[in-house]
Structure 1
């Protein structure tokens, strides 16, 4: 991988020298990316963290295990950042896929090693937790097996105490009757000021119902009779119009019922004919001729 990286760096340098149009700033930026990628590759290839904490007895206490777990989490984050730095340079190289595959393979190896260290630290923490739990259980069991507390029996008194002497209750003096003060007669209240109802002026007489001419009841006899006749004629016309509309609705309902009845009878006949044809086919199948067909 080192040989391939050196070739790629040489190719990048050659391309930087040929592309003079980019200027010194662009070449400097590419050099900075190459340096950053080289540092990332160097970090990905470093196995010192795993070699230090994977040795037997390196994680000797729960406190050390907690510190190692925190450091391992930071190492995983640094591996992720280093992988991104390498990918930024790989996209500018000729063998892009090979560059990324090599970097990804190395990063996976480092991650597996660091996770092994995390598992070992968790095992130390778990073993210490189990040990403390067993010690607590043993202590509780020892306390339960200790000598029981001796409880002295309750002393029973033989001497009876003298009964309480209660003095007889003496009737007290009867209370004096309560003197009620005489009722105070209140002065009659002043009458409420009630105003007489206001007399409203008489309303104008209503017109005769149904009259279109607005004839007042105070009109002459002939005018009143004419208004009554007009009103009665109007009522008769309205009643005749309502009766005609009712007859039309009744006729429409009758026609609808007859149409529904005809449709029902037609459907019934069709179903009866279909049932008869079905029975005839069944009889033909059951006859002796059916085996010849």
Structure 2
């Protein structure tokens, strides 16, 4: 196995162009496990740890540009304000050691349905973009178009993930995950929810309950219509129990889970309905407090 270790981003792109089958590695929290168990044996590894710009992030007031290798521990410490949903998801990732090494770029590259970052990224809105680059240039891939199959993404063979562009939160966000134990666990299923009062929209993300991470589109539209039709964005009034129940049922219906060693399909559907109800209650209560404080 060949080992490539570029020192700059341009060198990294040139190496990927010359060796399109090379497997990028930065945190290595997924890649090294697969190598150790001989699940994957690529012809070359492309070590990106010396490319410092991948560990940087910036914010212009509207969008956070998150470098692909910014570790989860820094997302928790530095971005819980502008990216609360992603920061909550980051808290559930692995152990402290894994959170100090792993980043969102690795989650996206692996494209596992169980990746913890995916529900939060989907819920953050349709203006989330994956910044993919090659020697041919840079393109922005909408998050909804990024996942194309089980552990498959829409990157071209010569492309690397440089960053993710995520809108700064304009409302409360939540993340919920169920596993077979309380820590260091792969999700049985996960759910992200975000309220976007500026546009009057709702964002959702379902993890580990379909071939790819996905939205609960009908649930988003149902809640958007309820909040707009009843004037709840302006009043911050209570959500009645039937709205919460119906939202949970629509999230459940959006899933397409399977039975596996971590849980059955029926359990995943049930758990998603429960998580959807809970996260909606938490998120709406947060929004009502924001409305009250502003008043």
User: Could you say which TM-score interval applies, normalised by the shorter chain?
Assistant: under 0.3
The structure with the largest alpha-carbon Rg is 1
TM-score of the pair, normalised by structure 1: 0.17
Q: Higher strand proportion, which one?
A: 2
Q: Higher helix proportion, which one?
A: 1
Bigger relative contact order (CA 8 A; separation at least 6): 2
